[in-house]
Amino acid sequence: MRRCVALVLSALIAVVTIQSAVAADWPAWRGPNRDAISTEKGLLKTWPEGGPKLLWTFEDAGQGYAGMAVVGGTVYTMGARGEDEYLIAVDGKGKEIWSTKIGPVFDFKQNAWSRGPNATPTVDGDLIFALSSKGVLLCANKAKGKKVWSIDIPKELDGEVNNVAGFVPKFGWGYTWSALVDGNNLIIVPGGPKGLFAALDKKSGKLLWRSKDVTDQATYASPIAATIGGVRQYLYLTQKTLYSVSAKDGALLWKHSQEEEYPDVVCGTPIVKDDRVYISVGNGGKNELLKITSEGGKFKAEQLWRQNVIGNKQGGVALVDGYLYGYHEDRNWACVDFKTGKRIWPTRSGKQNLKEGGFVIAEGRLYTLDEKGKVGMIEVTPKGYIEIATFDLPKQSTKRKSNGRVWNYPTLSDGKLYVRDQELLFCYEVK
């Protein structure tokens, strides 16, 4: 009997250990669920003056605004070194494990904003999927970075990126979305006349389907998966329309269009809660909440509200306990009632030390790296804007282009906060 109890306890401990390890990982853009929410516990409630302990600094991540995926303590990111872009793995002590060339850098004479990859690698089991700014999608082995397969999206899939506010036809500012793994499907967004969406076999790169009846150009947003009305589907926001297609074959399920195209680049990641879908676009694009209904196998999108309360440029809004949190245009951090669209705070203009930036939310705290290079912690509460602690990066990149700012998204994994400014990657202990 004692032996049986011991075996059961050992098994339970093993399961808890495995689940904890999985919970600590941040394998993709905006985390495991693409919602910018971490389930980690036991994090510091505040930081000492000057910030938490800096564990290490890695100074060769390359140029670009690529995000960081962290699995098993290893950081996977991308950067431009010279004229090529690389997928890079860095260990838990800040030492490079390997780097694999993806393809050449996409750049042009009038570009004063960015150079290098802008997507976040997606880690799934033994595989990593990384997208270059020129549209080369690489599948590599996680252990050594060895190429498994790759595909040149513009050449092989006739992909196109919307050119709003850009200079290069069919390329715009380059490819930016982060690939989505859903079971055996690798969901990508080539854009263009052969289909906005595409599903690949993640192990071989073989094309499974294209969304032939949805042919918009790609934007700078990333796709998400959701089950609405019992149907698995993929959502993506283009320059004028939010589309949802069937996970089975890419057929159009429903769409919601604006009267006119959004005035500037579209980067927003939709938020899905039950049968509600929220989208936000900056530069005057506003934000809105939709209700999705289905009857007789047909879906319909109904607008519940449309406001200009969190117009977010960077794809960063999160939903926590019925409230939306994000940065509104060039003004301030804000909290909005998800159900009604009513702005909860700020009720009037007030001083906020933290500017616009990417963020991750965990244990009632919003961790942000703002575009000026300040790291901050904000309390996640509808009571008001409560800034808990801030500190400045120990140093900033000198390799950003003249109009570029600190736009790399932070990542939280296993009690460590990872923040990046171009080639500089910092790891802080926050647990």
Instruction: Give the pLDDT confidence of 57-82 residue by residue, as tens digits.
Output: 999 999 999 999 999 999 999 999 99
Whole-angstrom Cα distance, residue 36 to residue 208? Answer: 29
The per-type count for the chain, helices as H runs and strands as E runs, is 2, 33
Tell me the whole-structure pTM to 2 decimals.
0.94
For residue 23, the model assigns a pLDDT of: 56
Average pLDDT over the chain, rounded to whole?
A: 93
Q: What is the DSSP letter of 36?
A: S
- pLDDT at position 6, please? 40
Domain borders along the chain are: 26-429
pLDDT at 3: 39
- Distance CA(422)–CA(60), nearest Å, equals 9
The residues facing 391 across adjacent strands are: 375
Instruction: Report which of 207, 214, 234 is spatially closest to residue 222, judged by C-alpha positions.
Output: 234
pLDDT digits (tens, 9 = 90+) for 294-331: 998 899 999 999 999 998 888 789 999 999 999 998 88
H or E element in which residue 367 lies: strand 365-370
pLDDT of residue 178: 98
The strand pair at 53-58 and 69-71 is best described as: unpaired
What is the CATH code for 26-429?
2.130.10.10
Q: Quick one: tokens of 227?
A: 């089950």
pLDDT of 62 reads 98
Q: What is the pLDDT of residues 111-138, one digit of tens each?
A: 999 999 999 999 999 999 999 999 999 9
Q: Which residues of the chain have pLDDT under 50?
A: 1-22
pLDDT at position 349 is 64
